Structure 1
Amino acid sequence: MIKKWGLAFFLSMSAFSAHAAAEGIVTTEERAIYDATTNEQIGRIMPNVYYETLYDTTKQFYVQVETATGYVLKDEAVQPADLQVRTPKNTMVTIATNGETTFYKGTDFREKLYVAAADRRFFVTNETNDYYEVLLFGQAAYVKKSDVREDRGIPVLLYHHLLRDRENENYRNNSTVDPLTFIIQMEYLKDAGYETITLDDLYAYINGEKNISAKSFALTFDDGLSTTQRYAYELLKAFNFKATNFIITSRIPPVERLFDPSTLQFLSLKNMNSMRDVFSFEGHTHNMHYFMTGSCGALVCGTAEAVAADIATSLAVMPHNYFAYPFGQHKEETTRLLKRANISMAFTTRKDYVHVGEDLYRVPRIDVQRSMTFPQFKALFE
């Protein structure tokens, strides 16, 4: 079943508003559509078809396409035009294209409206057994269900400790993954054509500000363990993958130590600075990564004053915009304190995919554990 999102979020977006008369363009020849943030070509528009525009600059017309915006270059073949536009139905789901995919003006699938590249996401306004209706350029467009797939959202993977089985004497728990397993997983994603996105990208996607390919994922590590440098850094650099490490700032050592797999060792500031071409570093509390009472973490069971002070200290040691809850635990007061500290987004350990309109302070992640088999890992992406 395709996930439905909060209607209020989408109706607040300008492209989904009703217009008495919309400004737009008509082109006499096929023209490329480019992503407004990456400038990559993501599709083509058809000649003699109306396309609503959001705004224009001296060189581009900007349009609503996929889940955010794109643009077409201004030239002699592209002319301004007007058209009455209806309001879409109040049902929003998302799909992704399988390959280069044609969207049509009608359900007879005769007149082309738009040709999208592979693995692009679109909001759906209606559906039947045979086709989806989407809103493109301020008007209804139709795509055959056989040409697209349900979009589950963006997976945000979560890892902790990487340690070889033969050297792992003390940490044979589900949070410790053998580096060989990690290599196999990353090689699979690279070979399958997946690319990483940064948390800045994810934040923009959630807010409806950026188009993200359906072959994208985010990669995160919790706790700031030194094994991320030892076993993950060079591989991710070779694959041009980006990742985020959530740091417990009280555990940052003043100096580096020789590697010792029998103990937990953490990244120094020098280590972090040497990894910034691959990793970004965000917050995981200063000193509240422990259970205070039974299974209740300090971030939840501590006083509001103590939590606020801890967040402030963490930010002072290492400025950051994003945050991961220790053990995934949080409550309303926790999110309130993070907002007050100008933290923009916070991550849980709730297993799910990330969608446009997600609660920015309860972003889900998928914990990749030692017990996860390779078929189970593949199933996250298939």
Structure 2
Amino acid sequence: MFMRFLFLLLLVSGSAFASLIGQQGVPAQYMQTTEDATIWAQVGNHVVNVGNIRAGQIVAVTPIAAEYYEFRFGFGTGFIDKGHLEAVRGKQRIEDSLGDLKKPLSNQNLITWKDTPVYNAPDSGSALFGTLSANLRYPILSKLKDRLNQSWYQIRIGNRLAWISSLDAQEDNGIPVLTYHHILRDEENTRFRHTSTTTSVRAFSNQMTWLRDQGYTTLTMAQLEGYIRNKMNLPAKAVVITFDDGLKSVSRYAWPILKQYGFHATAFIISSRIKRHPQKWDPKSLQFMSVSELEEIQDVFDIQSHTHFLHRVDRYKHPILLSRSYHVILFDFKRSRRALSQFNPHVLYLSYPFGGYNGKAIKAANDAGFHMAVTTVKGKVKPGDNPFLLKRLYILRTDSLETMSRLISNQPQG
């Protein structure tokens, strides 16, 4: 029965999911596990096995009219079968393990790359609370060092404070947001071979194959927003794929590859350059997607803004946005959102033209109704980052897969 419920959860998402699991105002109660109990939670778009809680552990759960209980798991809700729990016997001492439950989060996560032991105290000799599964991001409350100078991460599961050794998990160094523009076959690329913003179909296909084979999940910008605002559980192996400008080569070459692997991506579109009808393919010119092409790729691509008329440079080759007034920028941003609303009623994310921004552009982006904006500054996105100054990474046509692995793996960026 419980597995049938989980299958149902996999079929629902967004507000439907929230309404299904939401039981606002129902007080939590402490219960004790009678045996090792598997726990589940929504991570990204899926409900997955996120670990287990050992027999005899006390957790706070929310009783609801179902065959499972809900409990607090990271930034979301976990699920545990009612058959694994019973009322707490006698006067169990649980206060020592509860601590300050209102303590703010630290904008820091840990990452699990294997099934990871969770302890009742910052001591590997203490009793096990349970385990966290591989491929999770989980919020850290604080860190400390033990008498052997070993670092420990304090976390919270089901209103219980618990500990994970830094020998068993890593600190989260952020989610990579990959930047692409133009994509061509090697034999037809006679004009753009030496531009860093053009990649080859072969290189892009190899990169996407590598992401698939390594088990990466591709995120939407909305999920990235949930991550930086500490509102969503996401897998450890996660990446955001973005394409700037809205070039025809995206629908011709990138879209089929991404679709083949079931990947999601974001297309930042210069709304004034959308064509009324598809153009005949010409690899020697920069062609832009048409209305019908943009409609067709939406099973893979989320359509977002790359401005309306501001994707230009001045005579000094500087982004023209930098010399425009706040009111001109605001007008352009709003116009772009309106123009793109025919494809997406939720145009909430912006890519600055040529990565150029200043205080006026940041204020205009916020005032125009955008939730986040991406730059071309190199780096990864972390919780608590300024949502209007998000960093990205370039993977070039000439980069090896080893270089790609080094760039997007969970290592600190230099």
Instruction: Assess same fold via TM > 0.5.
Output: yes
Q: Which residue of 2 aligns with 1:360?
A: 387
SS in 2 for 1:380: helix
Paired residue type of 2:143: N
User: Which of 190, 197, 208 is matched with 1:186 structurally?
Assistant: 208
Q: Which residue of 2 aligns with 1:157?
A: 178
Provide the C-alpha distance between the structure 2 equivalents of 1:126 and 1:312, rounded to a whole number of angstroms: 44
Change (3 A) 1:24 1:155: farther
Provide the C-alpha distance between the structure 1 equivalents of 2:70 and 2:367, rounded to a whole number of angstroms: 35
CA contact 2:356–2:375 (8 Å) conserved in 1: yes
Q: Which residue of 2 aligns with 1:133?
A: 153
Provide the C-alpha distance between the structure 1 equivalents of 2:383 and 2:391, rounded to a whole number of angstroms: 12
| 2:310 is equivalent to residue 288 of structure 1 | yes
| 2:57 is equivalent to residue 72 of structure 1 | no
User: Which of 337, 340, 343 is matched with 1:318 structurally?
Assistant: 340
SS in 2 for 1:121: strand
Change (3 A) 1:63 1:356: farther
Provide the C-alpha distance between the structure 2 equivalents of 1:299 and 1:80, rounded to a whole number of angstroms: 63
Stretch moving more, 371-380 or 71-80: 71-80
Stretch moving more, 327-336 or 228-237: 327-336
Alignment of 1:293-304 (within 5 A): 294-304=316-326
Provide the C-alpha distance between the structure 2 equivalents of 1:50 and 1:92, rounded to a whole number of angstroms: 27
User: Which of 49, 52, 58 is matched with 1:44 structurally?
Assistant: 52
Q: Which residue of 2 aligns with 1:97?
A: 112
Residue 182 of structure 1 and its aligned partner are, at CA, apart by: 0.8
Structure 1: gaps (5+ residues) = 1-21
CA contact 2:153–2:166 (8 Å) conserved in 1: no
Provide the C-alpha distance between the structure 2 equivalents of 1:90 and 1:156, rounded to a whole number of angstroms: 24
Change (3 A) 1:57 1:360: farther
User: Which of 124, 132, 140 is matched with 1:116 structurally?
Assistant: 132
User: Which of 166, 185, 196 is matched with 2:187 structurally?
Assistant: 166
SS in 1 for 2:125: coil
Change (3 A) 1:52 1:99: same
User: Which of 29, 33, 46 is matched with 2:39 structurally?
Assistant: 33
Paired residue type of 2:137: R
Deviations 1:133-168 (A, max 9, x none): 222223432223332223221111010111123212
Paired residue type of 1:180: R
Q: Which residue of 2 aligns with 1:213?
A: 235
TM-score by length of 1: 0.87
Identity %: 27
Aligned length: 360
User: Which of 249, 265, 271 is matched with 1:243 structurally?
Assistant: 265
CA contact 1:174–1:371 (8 Å) conserved in 2: no
CA contact 2:116–2:132 (8 Å) conserved in 1: yes
Residue 294 of structure 1 and its aligned partner are, at CA, apart by: 2.1
Provide the C-alpha distance between the structure 1 equivalents of 2:107 and 2:300, rounded to a whole number of angstroms: 35
Change (3 A) 1:26 1:331: farther
Paired residue type of 2:99: R
Change (3 A) 1:267 1:92: closer
Change (3 A) 1:272 1:89: closer
Provide the C-alpha distance between the structure 1 equivalents of 2:316 and 2:125, rounded to a whole number of angstroms: 61
Change (3 A) 1:292 1:61: farther
Residue 80 of structure 1 and its aligned partner are, at CA, apart by: 6.0
Q: Which residue of 2 aligns with 1:18?
A: none
Provide the C-alpha distance between the structure 1 equivalents of 2:210 and 2:117, rounded to a whole number of angstroms: 29
Q: Which residue of 1 aligns with 2:399?
A: 372
CA contact 1:173–1:370 (8 Å) conserved in 2: no
TM-score by length of 2: 0.81
Provide the C-alpha distance between the structure 1 equivalents of 2:386 and 2:164, rounded to a whole number of angstroms: 30
